[in-house]
Structure 1
Amino acid sequence: MTNTSELTGPAPAGPSAIKFEPLTRSIGAELFGVNLGDVVREDALFVELKALLLEYKVLFLRDQDISRAAHVAFARRFGELEDHPVAGSDPEHPGLVRIYKDLDSPAEHYENAFHCDATWREKPPMGCVLRCVETPEVGGDTIWVNMAEAYAKLPHHAKTQIDGLRARHSIEATFGAEMPMDERHQLKERFPDAEHPVVRTHPETGEKILFVNGFTTHFVNFHTPKNIRYGIDYAPGGSNLLNYLIAQASVPEYQVRWRWAKNSVAIWDNRSTQHYAVQDYWPAVRKMERAGIMGDRPF
């Protein structure tokens, strides 16, 4: 028997319309009896759903047999959508990216690394809505990580060491790595490396979030007398610290793992999470469609 809960607090007074079940102690909840098409039309329902998103950081729904137009309309309730410069968008629905993995998929379009979407932008996405169109019978799960919890559980000395640090995030070093040099340089001209705080503050909840991931290349203000005695303190000293921080996403206690089925949907807060698409299903086909929601500049 499912042990569902009801939301109080930020939602309107009276019983909640959304039933849900937390999936781990740290992150994730599954919603029941909700149709995203209804959320597009009903303001009170959207308020409840967003409050749950802020609390659980990623929400999951089954059996969402909705159109691409409805998918886009729901995501736009959170804000304007953005295209992806490499993956592209559905021609009839700007902002809706088709992530189709089959025998013809380009090798560079990998996802099996912990990452926070598009931190190479000056204003990374606020969040995303991902819908499963086709999935293997077994495999192709996705893992999400609570990076606020990852920061909270850091040892005190590590929090002290990274206080005030900033880091670079690069599309050139990731999506551009397999491009010919001229194309890679053109990509960087369009999207210069972004600089973000290593610890960002969530603009709505006030949580402190560890904000480095697979797009992060190096610290930009580590080379100071406070941190450096000799060259080895900077390289590999700074790199070792960055790798240690990036590795926090792999701690199982901060994670939730979701098994996809056709018409399942995940909605996540990109500001406070990372995710990892498990590529264990080759040569089976996996087709997903994602709407990315524009965000703000991390602080």
Structure 2
Amino acid sequence: MTVSVALFGAGGKMGCRITDQLKDYDRYDVRYVEPSDSGRERLAERGLSATPENEALDGADIVVLAVPDDLIGTVSEDVVPQMDRGSMVVLLDPAAAYAGKLYERADISYFITHPAHPSIVDANSSLSGDNPDWFGGQGREEQDIVCALHQGPNEDYDRGEAFARDIYAPVRRAHELTTEQMVVLEPALVEMVLGSCLYAIREAHEHAVDIGVPEQAAKDFLFGHFRVELGIVFGFTDFPFSDGAQEAIEQTKQDIFVSDWKETVFSEERLDEVTSEIA
């Protein structure tokens, strides 16, 4: 059975990734919606052309909103009223759903999915090669994904996950979560915490270079310690930090982090604030 898909933002960053994944699948009839000239040029480079919005939505089983987060609410207000009853909207980020920005309509489903990206712990290929797969979903390295049925009948979860596995293929594990759990992961865990810490690490690396450490030496030393310390902290190895290293870590954590940082970052009030700003 052919599944009709209307892909909004088909020529954008995520839209092009999904386009590249779906364009050769026989089981999908994909209609590519792209208003911008630059996006249409990217579609043309792939031998594809844009479809008018009303034609794309006619009989569409799945509507993918691969548009910027801050446009999701506006686009859903335009698109969702035109959709067939029982069809599904697929979102690529939980912020708009969590923030209550989606158009309210009870007879369609909202499904959210997001990639975890290939793991640095068990990636199949080397990141030091000529063209490493940093992002995933290119038919090369497996990745895991998270999914949430934000609204709709329970049986629609399977329909959404099957589609998510295709747009992010190859997929190893798909984790079924709630919208609220997805927001804990992103933006809280991987953007607010991990992203902030990585920028701090980069600043520390640059500072080491500024005060005289040769840049390549600093980079080699830092990236090597990424591996061993990741293994120690997350329990992949039983090889511990030295007593001196553990003491330095505990002392420095007090200099870098305020004592209640987790309660602040993961609080409902903070997540409400951040998702509202995103969407």
| Structure 1 length-normalised TM | 0.28
Which structure is richer in relative contact order (CA contacts within 8 A, separation 6 or more)? 1
| Structure 2 length-normalised TM | 0.30
Q: Which has the larger radius of gyration?
A: 2
